[in-house]
Amino acid sequence: MVKSRKKAGQYFLMVLITFLVVLPFLWMLVLSFKTNSEILSTPLALPKTFNFDNYKHAMETLNFPQLYGNTLFVCVISLISELIITFLSSFVLARMEFENEGIRKLLYGFLIIGLSISPFILLFPVYKINVFFKLRGKLALLFPYIATSISFNTLLFVGYLKSLPAEIDEAAVIDGCSIWDLMVRVVLPMTKPVIATVVIFNVLYIWNEFPFASVMLRDVTDYTLSMGASFFKGTYTVDYGGIVASSVMIIIPELIFYGLFQKNIVEGMTAGAVKG
């Protein structure tokens, strides 16, 4: 009796907490069907009719295909580049013999320091560097995103590559494998789980990133999704319905992505923390 009451209490708490956390999302959904005057005059009431005007308006104001296209473009190019360079450098750090052990440790430590560097100190200097290299618009975002991923990727890759037994290398070399073959044909396929983690972590980062985007992107046609979300505030200060609807339209794909890869995402986001 006591036990079942305790269980019931636990269930009650679980449902209550979950409900409280989800409530803001549900509220957004409700608001997105209300007209602006309804939001202003009767903030608590449910929408009288399901009208999709807010969504129509959001679609007219924001060029969603372009926003998604830009974000995807930046995301794919940064991801491919960073995966190639950080996998190679981590392979060197984890599995090659160094003449001096100290240098290996130093390099590793140097690359990991980045984890504690806040992006906000980088914004303006990176902007300057981009100007120097004549990188503009979307292209200006690629290097900052690649660079900020290096520390995290190094941490995960080196940690994982070190855990693979050294016999693999020896066997492969004895079988006449070149270093390149060893890396691409033998080690790379074994690294798949970490690559998945790294990809998901960085996709989420780039998808949501705002500070760099807000500094580098001047032209509306270059805007990424997070910039799109902030766009409404400046232009239509009072279009509450439009802001909500466009936010919902940005969130929903994210939540679907989350629903599909939930296990990997949770793993990816906590991996760095738990291992680091």
Partner 1 sequence: MVPTLLVYCIFIILPIAIAVRYSFTKYTGIGEAKPVGLKNYIRLFQDDVFWVSLKNTMITFVLAFALLLTISFLIALLLNKKLKGVDFSKALIFSPAIIAPIIVGIIWVYILDPNIGIINNVLDAVGASGLKHKWIGGDKLSPYSIAIIYFWQQLGYLVTIFIAGLKMIPEDVLEAVKIDGASPLQEIRYVIIPMMRTTISTVAVLIITGVFKIFEIVQQTTGGGPNHLSETLVTYSYSMTFASSDYGYGMSLATVTFILSLLITAVYSAITKEEKGGKRSRFSHISQRNARGQKQAGDTLEEREG
- Range 223-262, binding partner 1 (CB under 8 A): 225-226, 229-230, 233, 240, 243-244, 247, 250-251, 254-255, 258, 262
d(CA 160, CA 153): 11
- On whether the CB atoms of residues 57 and 32 are closer than 8 A, the answer is no
Supply the minimum distance, in Å, between the C-beta of residue 181 and partner 1.
19
Supply the minimum distance, in Å, between the C-beta of residue 82 and partner 1.
8
- On whether the CB atoms of residues 140 and 130 are closer than 8 A, the answer is yes
d(CA 175, CA 110): 35
What x-and-dash track marks residues 205-224 binding partner 1 by CB under 8 A?
--xx-xx---x---------
- Which 4-23 positions form the footprint of partner 1 (CB under 8 A)? 7, 10-11, 13-15, 17-18, 21-22
- On whether the CB atoms of residues 47 and 34 are closer than 8 A, the answer is yes
- Which 156-215 positions form the footprint of partner 1 (CB under 8 A)? 204, 207-208, 210-211, 215
Query: Binding partner 1 by CB under 8 A: which of 77, 123, 139, 168?
Result: 123
- Which 62-91 positions form the footprint of partner 1 (CB under 8 A)? 85-86, 88-89
Query: Binding partner 1 by CB under 8 A: which of 48, 128, 162, 218?
Result: 128
Supply the minimum distance, in Å, between the C-beta of residue 174 and partner 1.
25
Query: Binding partner 1 by CB under 8 A: which of 40, 173, 188, 260?
Result: 40
Quick one: 144 or 194, whose CB is closer to partner 1? Answer: 144
Supply the minimum distance, in Å, between the C-beta of residue 145 and partner 1.
9
Query: Binding partner 1 by CB under 8 A: which of 148, 191, 197, 202?
Result: 148
